[in-house]
Structure 1
Amino acid sequence: MNTITAVTSPCPPAGLPVATAPSVRTPAGLVGNTPLLWVGEPFAAPGRGFWAKLEGANPGGIKDRTALYMVQAACDRGELLPGAPIVESTSGTLGLGLALAGNAFGHPVTVVTDPGMEPMMSSLLAAYGATVHVVAEPHPVGGWQQARRDKVAELLAARPDTWCPDQYHNPDNVAAYRPLAHELVAQLGRIDALVVSVGTGGHSAGVGSALRDFFPDLKVVGVDTTGSTIFGQPAAPRLMRGLGSSIHPRNVAYHLFDEVHWVAAPEAVWAARRLARCHYATGGWSVGAVALTARWLAGVLPAEARIAAIFPDGPQRYTGTVFCETYCREHGLLCHFPPDAPQEIAHPRERTVTSWTRCTTVTDPLADLTHTPAVRR
């Protein structure tokens, strides 16, 4: 959506390398074209592995893509007036993206979060010019997520020209990720399986649907957290942020998924830390959960299968949680070695899962009154 002019430079003097990375005039131009890293031994079994799309290479993470796209689209439609405020609920990464978009398009940004946001993230958002509101109490049914959304509604009512992207239900959140899918096709040529975390449903739906246009037989594996309601499990308190939900985002494309995996916090921590030690590339909760699932998938699919896993962010914001010894000890997250394979259930409502579990029946909890599987289109 953004028109970015790259700087063209003359040929370098003899003996100096030719630059391959673009030079851009605005921070928004740094978004996209992120690298792929092969994750094999020793994280994966000998001769097996997967390709990790390192979205942490964006200035703020994967949601830089959708923040810029949603803001530009709203401006084009006249929904967001010049200089009008932007307000949104976030657990962190979209807040960084909106701060970037606000800088790029000239809008003040307010983010509504909860006490679970890392102090480093709050400080960084403030440094980037965003106003941070922290809700004090969780909603009795919808938890912190609904409490944040209620506060957003209050702020919208107080100033009518304020715009909220509503990332959970905004179709632009899906459309924003088609370029990411196209990057994967250009980088890998063929993709047999996609492993992707599910939170608002945006990047899983956008990347998955675009890749299916190229590869009709693509296997799409969704990764959720225990305690999340997205795929029909009952709501429960969650440590993991960035994936999972206490509500049912309309952007989740249930028909795309061949299977879903729920991963518990200690298992995601083990995988994130193991990645850091083995491959010098890692991220937070979502990355750990996705990596654990992709590692297993690489061991069960044929060796020639080409697996793409999306790592939504990097490790920087998790120094006080995933990579903090004190935090992990206090929450019982250390010394939990995940099994070689997930447990299996036949249907999401079969039982409440508390550790890594897989299900090949994927349903929309709001429409699934008769336990009918979602239909792949």
Structure 2
Amino acid sequence: MNETTLVTTPSSPAQLLADTKRPASTPAGLVGDTPVLWIGEPFTPVGRGFWAKLEGHNPGGIKDRSALYMVQAARGRGRLLPGARIVESTSGTLGLGLALAGAAYGHPVTVVGDPGMEPLMTGLLTAYGAEVELVTAPHSTGGWQEARRERVAELLAAHPDAWCPDQYNNPDNVAAYAPLAHELVAQLGRIDTLVVAVGTGGHSAGVASVLRGYFPHLRVVGVDTTGSTIFGQPAAPRLMRGLGSSIYPRNVAYDLFDEVHWVAAPEAVWAARHLARHHYATGGWSVGAVALVARWLSRALPAEHRIVSVFPDGPQRYVGTLYDDAYCKEHHLLGHLPADDPDEIGDPFERVVTRWTRCTRVVDPLSFTGERALAGAAR
């Protein structure tokens, strides 16, 4: 039997615009007001699930927000002069945001990456008008990240009028995410747990600090990658991009976190691919890692507990990596079903983690240099 779909006609033209985004006169106007999607079964157990903020619906991803805000703030303070060059180190997503900001405000952009940057990302950045430089060798202790930062310093010395956002330490990178937090409050009303990837520390600190003002008992769960130093683990080669660090970004707000999870690359790939197959919403390494942790929390916490995750980007730049079987086989990323539960450690310096692991003691590693030295000696 055919069913008739009832269509309600708005009583006034104003109602037609009530739930739509306004026309944008510049690309910057497309940033923000991203949707929220329920992620439930079959990715999660029956009757359980979590909400995902889909930041991949911004033109370039979540860092469009911070790029625009940091550029606006620097221009307002006179630190970024009209037409001056913007130079920054990035694994890709901030580069897209800076290219967008450069187009919106009339600034040339130079992005410093490394050989791990996907060819698709290099092509996109070039298409959007950014100059891309790739460093050729990692720093002896700071890895590719520090090598990129050293090249940025060289470029700034060669171009005295150039400006670097310094996303790792710039407080504007944190302030940029207040609108995202406000959108979540408007969209969901109540939030009990926030699950966020941690890299530069910008969106985790910016969103969590604002939400804590609304929900004092909010639980904040940070998601890092194995091999990252952010939460006290020793540096190791990292395949995953967009989360983790081999330096210690000062924008990371350690006091906001109730627990941290480290996720390995095969586990993130499994989660990202299953999200794509079952929910038509997915992204890169950060999305897979965050989704894996939020999935577990949806089972571990009471059913009425409202869990919100932030998906920083979409899948487009990862077509040749996470979603490419040849790449995944080359890096031994397939066929690794994540455990039902994470490993547990009582202290971030207890041992080196190589798979999904949880710790409820969160500290700033730079405040525990002696403890880290003892842990390193024990290993």
* TM-score band, normalised by shorter chain: over 0.9
Q: Tell me the distance in 2 between the aligned counterparts of 1:304 and 1:71.
A: 41
Superposition deviation, residue 19 in structure 1: 7.1
Superposition deviation, residue 23 in structure 1: 1.0
Letter in 2 for 1:298: S
Q: Which residue of 2 aligns with 1:104?
A: 104
Q: How does 1:49-198 map to 2 (within 5 A)?
A: 49-198=49-198
Q: Tell me the distance in 2 between the aligned counterparts of 1:12 and 1:285.
A: 44
Letter in 2 for 1:352: V
Superposition deviation, residue 38 in structure 1: 0.0
Higher helix content, 1 or 2:
2
| Structure 1 pair 363–120 and aligned structure 2 pair: CA distance change class (3 A) | same
Residue deviations 1:230-272, cap 9 Å, x none? Answer: 0000000000000000000000000000000000000000000
Q: How does 1:269-280 map to 2 (within 5 A)?
A: 269-280=269-280
| Structure 1 pair 300–81 and aligned structure 2 pair: CA distance change class (3 A) | same
Superposition deviation, residue 21 in structure 1: 2.7
Local SS of the residue matching 1:112: strand
Q: Tell me the distance in 2 between the aligned counterparts of 1:12 and 1:216.
A: 40
Superposition deviation, residue 220 in structure 1: 0.1
Q: Which residue of 2 aligns with 1:260?
A: 260
Q: Which residue of 2 aligns with 1:350?
A: 350
Q: Tell me the distance in 1 between the aligned counterparts of 2:20 and 2:148.
A: 42
Give ranges in structure 1 of 5+ residues lacking alignment: 1-10, 373-377
Local SS of the residue matching 1:354: coil
Q: Tell me the distance in 1 between the aligned counterparts of 2:184 and 2:210.
A: 10
Q: Is the 8 A contact 1:52 1:311 kept in 2?
A: yes
Residue deviations 1:171-202, cap 9 Å, x none? Answer: 00000001100000000000000000000000
Aligned CA RMSD, in angstroms, stands at 1.5
Normalising by structure 1, what TM-score? 0.94
Superposition deviation, residue 30 in structure 1: 0.4
Q: Which residue of 1 aligns with 2:366?
A: 366
Normalising by structure 2, what TM-score? 0.93
Local SS of the residue matching 1:52: strand
Q: Tell me the distance in 2 between the aligned counterparts of 1:113 and 1:173.
A: 19
Q: Is the 8 A contact 1:363 1:371 kept in 2?
A: no
Q: Tell me the distance in 2 between the aligned counterparts of 1:12 and 1:126.
A: 45
Q: Tell me the distance in 2 between the aligned counterparts of 1:187 and 1:18.
A: 14
| Structure 1 pair 58–17 and aligned structure 2 pair: CA distance change class (3 A) | closer
Q: Is the 8 A contact 1:12 1:18 kept in 2?
A: no
